[in-house]
A and B are shown apart, each in its own frame.
Chain A
Amino acid sequence: MTLRQPLFVKYAALILVLAGASLLVSGAIEIYFSDRQHRATLAEVQRDKAAAAASSVSRYVEDLAHQISGATTPALDTAVSDLEKRRIDYLGLLRLAPAITTLRFVDRHGIERIQVSRLDADRMNGKTDLSGDPGFIAARGGRVHFSPIYFFEQTEPYMSIAAPDPSGDGAVTLAEVNLKFIWAVVTEIKVGEQGYAYVVDARGRLVAHPDIHRVLQMTDLSGLPQVRAALAQRDGTGASLESVESAVDPQGQPVFTAHAAIYPLGWHVFVEQPRSEALAPLYASLSRQAIVLLSALGLALIASLLLARSMVSPIRELQSGAQKIGAGNLGHRIQVESGDELQELAEQFNRMGAQLQDSYADLERRIAERTRDLEAANQGKSRFLAAASHDLRQPIHALSLLAGQLRSTGRPEDRNRILNEIEAGIAALGNLFDDLLDISKLEAGAVTAQPEDFAISAILGALNAQFVPEAQEKTLKLKVLPDNARVHSDPVLLQRVLSNFVSNAVRYTGRGGVLVGCRRRGANLQIAVWDTGCGIPEDRREDIFREFVQLDSPDRDRGKGLGLGLAIVARLAPLLGSRVELRSVPGRGSMFAISVPLAEVQDERNAVSSFPPYYEPTQGVPLRGVFAVVVDDDEAARASLQGLLVEWGCLALAARGGTDALAMLAQHDRAPELVICDYHLGNGENGIEAIRRIQAASECSMPAILVTADGGPEVLRTARHHQYPVLLKPVAPAKLRALLAQLLAKGPNGCDKEFHHKAV
């Protein structure tokens, strides 16, 4: 078996591709959406944190501003001057707000009146002119002012807050605030493990950062893309995950960032997370999904292999099973238990195999039967032959004895007697051969019926002519009743049947007579033969139709034939489509009958009321001087016939064939009056052709007789067709003589004139 497995591979690949593709597609979709989801969530979280941080810082600064503007309260103790009071208030504020390094009170003219500081000198009535200070200007107008950030000593981030005095008279408190304190707000903001927040001022300089060292370095982050974007925006919170995809930290690492503006300072707080950390969950999920996908693919592969195998293995079972059955192993049964159409198919195959087995068995049985039958038939045939040859020996034996007798007898009357017996014996032998040939041909199925419309009187007449002499010899009365009916049947076969009936009747009737008559039975004509013989017992009625069975002669009287007559009838009757009827009363007589269909057209023409008289051979038509031609390719037959004719006084020519005959006739100036021709001549010539040629050459249709050893119906039919009488070899001289007399009695046929034969 070749090891191609395309079906398995196909199925496995198909299932795998289907499963794998759907897994991949669903996985990809999953990943895509979860990525977007994750990023959106990240953005939101960071935005929230940024907003929260912004508001924290904003609150811190505003609280400071609030504290600064609310630092002074009206003096309760008039002993203390307003300025002193204010100075004490400022000292209190310094204590409350560690972020404030220096507080100054600037009157509405812009002159510094009080300075209270942690580091710088305290001053009262300092008289410094700060009227140009933008903080003073703004605060005098009533607004809190936040100065831009400046880095004290290049390192510490400071801012000035100018708050209007609550008395509303245009005085201003200026506070210097150390912004390192904002670091606390920013430090608390965490995103994941490595995320953080930082604050930049309006110029992008770092104000607060968890790593305070960066702040102290006056780090300028305005170069970072996210800082640039935020500064450009000026206002609002950035949904920056989308807008600042290129965000990087100062080290250049990509980060996810969100920012929020800090009112009213113009600062921005950034909440950032390294992109690798932010995306880590996503990557983790990705790798998880990849693992799941891979294992799912692996499972799909296994499943596809298993599934394909389970699909393909019944098919393979079928294939190998079919192959085995086809190779002749009919007992092989395909095992498929898949519970589906494939199992049905397997069962079909099995049934087919079983049926084949049965058929073979049946065939073998029939062959055996047929062989047995054939053997039986063969045996039957052998037996038949054995019996036949056995039966035939007897007449030959008798003949040879008679011939011996004849040789030794001198007296003419003895010789005549012996010759008669010899002729009878020959006739009997001829009959026996006829029967044998008939039965063998019927056995071989070589006989078919050729029905035609004809007058039954023809057969009746022949029967009459044939059997009256025999009957007379036995002093039986044979009466053949004429009839005008026309029947539709095979004349040759029918005549055979009736002839057998009559022959039997004559043979087996000792006293009385035989009657042949016709009766109309509906659409059929029944032709019956009655005899007054010994009858047939009830229990022998079937037997008698078998070969070689003769009643009343257990050892078979050879003189009464081989016992084949009724066997032949039994075979002929079905060919004619007719049945044989038998009625018999033992001791009284029997009736054999056969029915044939009547012809549609009953023609009254050619009605025969009686048959021509029978001529005794001894009465004889004078045959002296009859010019006859004998044609037979067999030398002995030719010579003997010629001799017989000469004996009877004819002038007889003996020719081998038509050509030979014409050659001989050319030497005579008379047309022959009679042609006796063998049917099967040499060189493929048949007798009818020869007769024709002679008739043509002689320019007259002289009577012709066909003699033949071929008892088959074909010859008879052909002869009938051409209306030549047929005699079967061995020809009984008496019959020949009678026939000659009949034919010549018809009178001259215009062949007497003298002419010269044509040269042939």
Chain B
Amino acid sequence: MKTFSLISLLMLSLGSSPIAWCAAQPGKVYRIGYLMFAPVADTPSPQRAALLRAMERLGYVQGKNLVIEYSSAEANVEMLPDAAAELVEKKPALIFAIGTPTALAAKQVTRTIPIVMFAADAVANGIVASLAKPGGNITGISGAQIKLSPKRLEVLKETVPRASRVAVLYSRVHPSHAQELTAIRLRAAELGLALQPFDVTRVEDLQAAFSRMSARRPDAILVLFDYRTLVYRQLISEFVATNQLPTMFGTRESVDAGGLMSYGSNLEEMFARAASFADRILNGADPSTLPVEQPTRFELVINRRTARALGLRIPEPLLLRANVLIE
């Protein structure tokens, strides 16, 4: 059973079916766009690398028949529309839009060029009409953050049973953080927790939040998943380590960087799934007929070193629940 699940996970994660529904046609060179919030790094992030690997497996090889045009908002939300427009002008066959605001910005700029998004709560954010039938020219991967965040709070509470006040780092410009917060508040009430929300849209905001949290220490921190927080993870990790604050993140990247725990989907898996969208679309599929995929697997990642550093004993049930334990 375990093997079976593993295999199925691998299959799902790799996203490539043994059957070549479509595949790169020989002799054709595909030009796609890659719209991202963070600055473009020379070495691709693990997520982007996973996507590129998945594309390769489907027959799209950068440098051979795949040309990627990158466009970045340089971590500035205001620059997203420009970045999007710039990319659209180059008329790629499709555009990868990484991040919910990115996806929305891309959607604003083009109604014809297919967009494969990597976003969250696509329906709640108004990116697509429904998950099964997206309509329009945009489809892709949609995380269920609104559902996950209360769960994260729950797990955090289970980890730190004595916690009574939890800081929440969010971004006011994120389309769905508000809804997330609402859900979190509901759960917090059930759990008997007081919330301390901090908007960390810009780095300055983050610094301000840090100082506020230093002044009035919460018992734990819940970081809403967002590309910003992903970008800032190093900063955040350092802060929470310094301040001995148990922190729940959205993805394991932050835990790798030193955070205590994360509960969410595996980004690399989801990025790899996006390749199959690109494959279908590049072979002529209509994006409006491709349902948006949600993550199937969620992993609880716990950094035991950080726990030890925090002097935190992880309860047994939580250890059972954990999928990955980092030493």
Which residues does A use to contact B, with CB under 8 Å? 60, 63, 67, 87-88, 91-92, 94-99, 117-122, 151, 153-156, 178, 180-181, 183-185, 187-188, 190, 194, 196, 210-213, 216-218
Give every chain B residue within 8 A of A120 (Cβ-Cβ). 147, 151
Given contacts A67-B1, A181-B8, whether A187 and B150 have CB atoms under 8 Å apart is no
- Say if the beta carbon of B323 comes within 8 Å of chain A: yes
Nearest opposing residue in chain A for B9, CB measure: A98
Q: Which of B5, B12, B154 is A183 in contact with, Cβ under 8 Å? A: B12
**Are A119 and B148 closer than 8 Å at their CB atoms?**
yes
Complex alpha-carbon distance, A211 and B19, angstroms: 9
For the complex, give the distance between the alpha carbons of A184 and B11 in Å: 7
Name the distance in Å between B103's Cβ and chain A's nearest Cβ.
18
Q: Enumerate chain B residues within 8 angstroms of A98, measured Cβ to Cβ.
A: 5, 8-9, 296-297
| Contacts between the two chains (Cβ within 8 Å), count | 102
> Is there contact, CB below 8 Å, between B12 and A154?
no
Whether B175 is near chain A, meaning CB under 8 Å from some CB there, is no
Task: Indicate if B79 sits at the interface (CB-CB under 8 A).
Answer: no
| B8 neighbours in A (Cβ, 8 Å) | 98, 181, 183-185
Assess the B291–A217 pair: CB atoms within 8 A: yes
Distance in angstroms from B58 CB to nearest chain A CB is 13
In the assembled complex, the Cα of A46 lies from the Cα of B298 at a distance in Å of 36
Closest A residue to B132 by CB, please name it.
A155
Q: Kindly state the separation between the CA atoms of A194 and B22 in the bound complex, as whole angstroms.
A: 11
- Which of B12, B154, B292, B320 contacts A91, CB < 8 Å? B320
CB-nearest residue of chain A to B133? A217
CB distance from A67 to the nearest CB of B (A): 7
Can you list the 4 inter-chain pairs with the closest CB atoms, starting with the nearest?
A: A184-B8, A216-B291, A155-B132, A155-B131
With A119-B148, A184-B8, A187-B11 known to touch, is A96 a contact of B317 (CB < 8 Å)? Answer: no
- Given known pairs A63-B1, A154-B130, the reply for A121 and B11 (CB within 8 Å) is no
Q: How far is the CA of A151 from the CA of B130 in the complex (A)?
A: 13
* B212 interfacial by beta-carbon distance below 8 Å: no
In angstroms, Cα B131 to Cα A99, docked, is 20
- Contact assessment for A154 and B19 in the assembled complex, using a CB-CB cutoff below 8 Å: no
Q: Quick one: which of A91, A98, A181 has the most chain B CB within 10 A?
A: A98
> In the complex, which residues of chain A have a beta carbon less than 8 angstroms from the beta carbon of B18?
187-188, 190, 210
A98–B323 alpha-carbon span in the complex (Å): 11
Which residue among A99, A154, A196, A212 has the maximum number of chain B CB atoms within 10 Å of its CB? Answer: A212
**Which of chain A's residues has its CB closest to B191's CB?**
A121
User: Number of B residues contacting the other chain (C-beta, 8 Å)?
Assistant: 40
Which chain B residues numbered 91 to 110 have a C-beta less than 8 Å away from chain A?
Answer: none
Q: Could you list some 5 contacts between A and B, CB below 8 A?
A: A97-B1, A98-B8, A190-B19, A213-B290, A213-B293
Indicate if B43 sits at the interface (CB-CB under 8 A).
Answer: no
Decide: A121 near B190, CB < 8 A? Known: A96-B2, A181-B8, A187-B17: yes
- Contact assessment for B320 and A210 in the assembled complex, using a CB-CB cutoff below 8 Å: no
Complex CA gap A88/B320 in Å reads: 8
Contact A217 B132 (CB under 8 A): yes
A181 pairs with B1, CB closer than 8 A = no
Residue of B nearest to A182 (CB): B8
Contact A121 B1 (CB under 8 A): no
B296 & A91 in contact (Cβ 8 Å cutoff): no
Asked if A96 contacts B1 (CB within 8 A), the reply is yes
A67 / chain B contacts, CB cutoff of 8 Å: 1
A196 to B19, CA, bound (A): 8
Tell me which residues across on chain A come within 8 A of B144, comparing CB atoms: 119
* Interface residue? B173 (CB, 8 A): no
* A156-B154 contact, Cβ under 8 Å, with A96-B1, A184-B12, A187-B18: no
- In the complex, the chain A residue whose C-beta lies closest to that of B148 is A119
**In the complex the two chains form, what is the Cα distance from A183 to B297 in whole Å?**
14
Closest to B280 in A: A213
Q: A60 CA to B1 CA in the complex, in Å?
A: 8
**A29 shortest CB reach to chain B, Å:** 37
Return chain B residues, CB-CB under 8 Å to A60: 4
Chain A residues near B131 (CB-CB < 8 A):
153-155, 216
Known contacts A183-B12, A185-B8, A213-B293, then 17 further A-B pairs from the complex at CB < 8 Å, ordered by chain A residue:
A91-B321, A95-B323, A96-B2, A119-B147, A120-B151, A121-B154, A154-B131, A154-B132, A155-B132, A155-B292, A183-B11, A184-B7, A213-B280, A213-B289, A213-B290, A216-B293, A218-B132
Complex Cα distance, B19 from A181, in Å, reads 17
Which residues in B have their C-beta under 8 angstroms from that of A190?
18-19
Tell me, rounded to whole Å, the shortest Cβ–Cβ distance linking A303 to chain B: 46
Decide if A210 touches B21 in the complex (CB within 8 Å): yes
Could you tell me the distance between the alpha carbons of A265 and B253 in the complex, rounded to whole angstroms?
Answer: 41
Q: Is the CB of B317 within 8 A of A87?
A: yes
A180 to B5, CA, bound (A): 12
- A181 with B291: CB separation less than 8 A: no
User: Is B305's CB within 8 Å of the partner chain A?
Assistant: no
B217 CB within 8 Å of chain A: no
Q: Given the complex, which residues of A lie within 8 Å of B5, measured CB to CB? A: 96-99, 181
Taken together as a complex, chains A and B put the C-alpha atoms of A153 and B280 apart, in Å, by 23
Cβ A121 vs Cβ B151 within 8 A: yes
User: Do B291 and A184 touch (CB < 8 A)?
Assistant: no
A187 near B19: Cβ-Cβ < 8 Å: yes
Q: How far is the CA of A98 from the CA of B296 in the complex (A)?
A: 8
Structural contact, A156 and B294, CB atoms closer than 8 A: yes
Residues of B within 8 A of A87 (CB): 317
B288-323 CB contacts (< 8 Å) to partner A: 289-294, 296-298, 316-317, 320-321, 323
B302 → A minimal CB distance (Å):
13
B4 engages A212 (CB within 8 Å):
no
Would A94 and B321 count as touching, CB distance under 8 A?
yes
A194 vs B18: C-alpha distance when bound (angstroms): 11
* Residue B202 CB within 8 A of the other chain: no
Nearest CB in chain A: distance from B283 CB, A: 12
Q: Mark B139-176, 1 if CB is under 8 A from A, else 0.
A: 00000100110110010000000000000000000000
Q: Which of A92, A122, A183, A216 contacts B132 (CB 8 A)?
A: A216
> Which B residue's beta carbon lies closest to that of A117?
B151
Q: Is B187 an interface residue (CB 8 A)?
A: yes
Residues of chain A contacted by B1 (CB below 8 angstroms): 63, 67, 96-97
Given the complex, which residues of B lie within 8 Å of A92, measured CB to CB?
Answer: 320
Complex Cα gap A178–B290 (Å): 20
> Which of B12, B151, B280, B290 contacts A119 (CB under 8 A)?
B151
Q: How far is the CA of A288 from the CA of B69 in the complex (A)?
A: 50
- Which residues of chain B have C-beta atoms less than 8 A from A119's C-beta? 144, 147-148, 151, 298
CB distance from A182 to the nearest CB of B (A): 8
Q: How far is the CB of A126 from chain B (nearest CB, A)?
A: 11
CB–CB B291/A118 < 8 A: no
Given contact pairs A95-B323, A178-B296, A184-B7, A210 touches B17 in the complex (Cβ within 8 A): yes
CB-contacts of B185-244 with A (<8 A): 187, 190
Pairwise interchain contact B296-A181, C-beta atoms closer than 8 A:
yes
